[in-house]
Structure 1
Amino acid sequence: MSSQSPNPPVVATQQDQQTPKDSSSPTRADIPVGTDSADSGSSSTSASLYVGELDPMVTEAMLFEMFNSIGPVASIRVCRDAVTRRSLGYAYVNFHNVLDGERALENLNYSLIKGKPCRMMWSQRDPSLRKTGSGNIFIKNLDVTIDNKALHDTFSAFGNILSCKIATDEGGYSKGYGFVHYETEEAAENAIKHVDGMLLNDKKVFVGRHIARKERLAQMDGSRAKFTNVYVKNLGLETTDEEFHSLFSKYGPVTSALVSRDDTGASKGFGFVNFENPDDALNAVNALNETEHNGKILYVGRAQKKSEREEELRKQHEQAKMEKLAKYQGVNLYVKNLDDDLTDEKLSQEFSVYGVVTSAKIMRDDKGISKGFGFVCFSSPDEATKAVTEMNGKMIGSKPIYVALAQRKEARRSQLEAQMNQRSQMRMQQMGAMPGVPDYMAGAPMYYPPPSGFRPVFPPGGMVPGPRWAPQPRPGQPMPGYGGHPNSYPMQQRPPRMLLEMDNGELLNLLEDKASLDRKIDEAMNVLKAHLADESK
């Protein structure tokens, strides 16, 4: 669900509030080291720490127990997705004073929390300082056994480190490169001077300036304008290296020209030519591309890296998909709730009264069984609009069908998420207006430590009082969800989770799966009937 957006990671204290940079993707669970920076304790009055690399099950209470051993904690916030409420893997911890924050950095950085070493840094409230590349270095060809702590220990000898991270894949394994951000430019220069080209765990590492992605892309675009390496495919299998070299050398000095071959020496039908002069390479491409050689039409172009080819293919695929969508925009209809025995011809016939149907297809599985939905395409938007108005809710066979303009899956999901998010926000606002509703139910969750000496007081019998708007049970009868535990019911009467108790992600799945939604409603109705039957006794 790419459209989901996590809550702004706000860290509030009694004295002030701080709003770091928002996360823009649910999958993005970290402040990117290598582009962001953070204040050191000596140069900032902020007592807020960023704590990353957290297990999704880590809660505010766990972090409070850990950090309160250092000094009094003002507040703690685990940042969560706005829709699913799942942890994004990082948190903000506010101390009452900077010295406690410094001690936490010194003593707790890379400590294990639920089996994972956390990564801490000062939270930077000034975005202009985060975005500067000053003091930022890039290290590659790292041994995969080197983790964040080992990298930190290695490079801390050259100056105060603000942040340090090894890049990892989805499984948490090192990609062989990382970033270190120093407090000063001098420390970064010193690290590059002493570590670049040295052996770390028997591997020679490269250490250099970190270049922002935007600058790297600009440099790449500039390099594409001039090139010397040329890729040639659709070569005749009988083409020799000498013939291949002779074909291109007429356009300028060639440093190498080789036909790619397999282990047996047979040609693979493609090869590479490298020129001394970029202008000669460009002339060769312009002259030989799509020309005939040994009975075949050659492709001649600039040699690309695999990542560049994949990106170019992706763009071509996306462009073709968008052109197809634009072609059918406003004329393609989505139809669901269809009878299993309905045919494509019958579907086309039902809609043809509203205009010229160019195609009508019911979607089926591998066995040819109808999935209960399909698409109808008209020749003009006016015809499609009329069909939507007239056909939506009409009985075809034994069911009333649903008809709407066809949308991409991403657009439908985004629209559903926006609706669910809006309803969730409205519900939170309504709950916030209720007296006695705690903060974590009314809005973004925030953990505030209890006052010193606080002890909860419970009524006699150990019964924890429920919300004052909750219905009260009759004497001797448990109340579902409040006074009685679900396990106190007989097995056949235990209530399933009602719709209001489900998170938004599960609700979205139910909206797209009618069978699951019907089952959930049936379960709820059975529980209600059983409860009413008990009351009537």
Structure 2
Amino acid sequence: MNSVFRKPADSDRNVQATVYIGNLDPQVTEPLLYELLVQFAPVRTLNFPKDRILKTHQGYGFAEFRTAEDAEYVLEVTRGVRLFGKSLKFKKTESGGSKTSQQDQHRYQQQAALTTSNAIDVGAKLFINNLNPLIDEQFLQDTFSKFGTLIRPPIIIRDESGVSKGYGFLTFADFSISDAVIAKMAGGMLMNMKVDINYAYKEDASGKRVRHGDRAERLLAESAKTNNLLKNEIKVEGKKGGRRK
């Protein structure tokens, strides 16, 4: 997926399949926006111009899809989408480049990191659909944190007026938690509506859309977990040794 987050050469860029995305909150990251867009169409590249000093994005970016038809479809289904309280501005780029406004390009100040814990993001990301419009992020936090650690605040995709579009994302600390959520909550009732919960889409090395939670991702997660445990053991032993001295 790293190849997705790159600035394509002008000769390699399909302008007709490229969408400008503006009014991005500083908390919006490339992986987060990718997770949203790939639910609707394969993403070829996703590029956020960065401030040279702060290394933070400047409030806008560009997503290139496989075809112009994909780009048109994404423009349609993401109309009025909000992230972190801000309405995203989606529009097709022009042959001479995107004509962004000064407001769209102003430098954003650094804010707190999006993650709520030091847990590694292993890819245990869920897409939840058919949410009651009355369900908010806090409701999802209260409901699903009972299963285990959410390493990001729950996200509900909203329209330009702030009304829920009925779907969102949950990101857990490990696959055992996300598996349990799917087993117990998929098809379950939340505020009198049957919700659909499954792993969110990503793209594999060949660019094919697949769901998170595949065997390779789980093996990497187990390896990371083992390495973290070893590091923790070393730190504990070091502290004990200090006390004995």
TM range (shorter): 0.3 to 0.5
Answer 1 or 2: higher relative contact order, Cα 8 Å, separation at least 6.
2
Greater Cα radius of gyration, structure 1 or 2? 1
TM-score, reference length from structure 2:
0.42
